[in-house]
Amino acid sequence: MPPRRDFGIEINANSSRGPNLSSIQRGEIIAKAKAGVSTRELVEEFGRSPNCIRTTIRISRTRATTQEAPRSGRPRILTRHQEKIIFRKVRSKPKIQYKDLAAVAQLVLPDSTLQKKPSTSTLYRSLKRQGLTNYRCKERPKLNRARALARLKFCREYRKFPWSRRPLKFSDECSVQKGAGHAKEWCFRYPSEK
């Protein structure tokens, strides 16, 4: 019959890992090991696994400090060169779409094959680090030559009109048809350029 398990104890034997050793604890373990204290005594004193104590002592032979080694982390997906290309393209064509931008960022590898295209979220993060964000373009009615001349004529006629003497009402009865089904335009720019 298997041994009885107390309430609240993990079912499997995979116990969770404890916190890392501090540099002071690491220094104490190394000093006591050099003084001749056994691994079993160090395990009991510090409450760590024998493997932790042995690894600390083994690593201390190659490292000069008791500080933790910096973590390398995941390598960057885009190189600095690719980020520069993306930034220049966005500044030259602010209305470029992400799929076209991904094609620009794709590099040719030494064996003359194309590198995998970066994802939209990778491009977004890269541009966000440089302060650029994709904003909606403002919708403005197009001003053709005839309307521009009519506005200029109105301005010239009423330039010296005494506006303060008469109460006037302007009614804006203009409606602009935006066109159904057209995709909204987006534009890359800094928040101050909105």
Backbone angles phi, psi at 134, to 5 degrees: -90, 115
Per-residue pLDDT of the chain (194 residues; tens, 9 = 90+): 456 667 766 666 666 667 888 899 999 999 999 999 999 999 999 888 899 999 999 998 888 888 888 888 888 889 899 999 999 999 999 999 999 999 988 877 778 788 889 999 999 999 999 999 999 887 776 778 888 899 899 889 888 887 777 776 666 555 444 555 567 788 999 988 87
28: nearest Cα among 54, 16, 7, 46: 46
> Is residue 129 within 8 Å of 166, Cβ to Cβ?
no
